Amino acid sequence: MTRIKRPAAALGAAALLALSLTACGGGSSDAPDDASEDEFCETFNSIFEPFGEGEAEPTEEQFDEFKDRVAELADVGTPDDISEEQREGFEVFVEAIADADFDEVDMEGDTFPGVSEEDSAKTEDFANYAFEKCTELPDLEDLPTE
């Protein structure tokens, strides 16, 4: 499974798409900050769908669909219970994906061009927030023991 898809499968992944990106461009800071939790989670959970089960290297078409869904996430915005640092991570994520070019993204690597440690920590914080808020984990009592 490639690294760009692993965070979707690894529910508690330390970083969303291992993004540690610098913010460039504009727009996501204008994203709503009072989104309903349901709408935020529905949109967030849909962003990885273009990659399917992650069995093959992503295509440019899949990446473009991913970018479109991240743009939809920017239109939805974040719920009002998100911390300032998590919100900044959301903004970094949205802007970086909007500016990403398929040919320049290393699908096997850990980062996009323009990595900063500060933005990486914020984006990781956003990823943790989104996965915790939006991912339903099975009840441990319901899992098979053998």
What mean pLDDT is predicted for residues 52-62? Answer: 82
Q: In whole angstroms, what is the distance from residue 73 CA to residue 12 CA?
A: 20
Residue by residue, DSSP assigns 52-72 as TTS-SPPPHHHHHHHHHHHHH
pLDDT tops 70 at residue 91: yes
Q: Is 1 part of a structural domain of the chain? A: no
Range of the structural domain that residue 85 is part of: 6-142
User: What is the pTM for the complete model shown?
Assistant: 0.72
Asked if the structure places residue 95 within a domain, the reply is yes
Would you state the structure tokens that stand for residue 139, as one six-digit string?
Answer: 């009840």
Residue 17 lies in a domain: yes
Is pLDDT of 142 > 70?
no
* Confidence bin at 18 (pLDDT 50/70/90): very low
The answer to whether residue 106 sits within a structural domain is yes
Q: Is residue 108 part of a domain?
A: yes
Domains held by the chain: number: 1
- Cross-strand bridge partners of residue 24: none
Q: What is the mean pLDDT of residues 116-140?
A: 84
> Is 52 a member of any domain?
yes
Q: What is the mean pLDDT of residues 19-48?
A: 76
Instruction: Label residue 88 by pLDDT band (50, 70, 90).
Output: very high
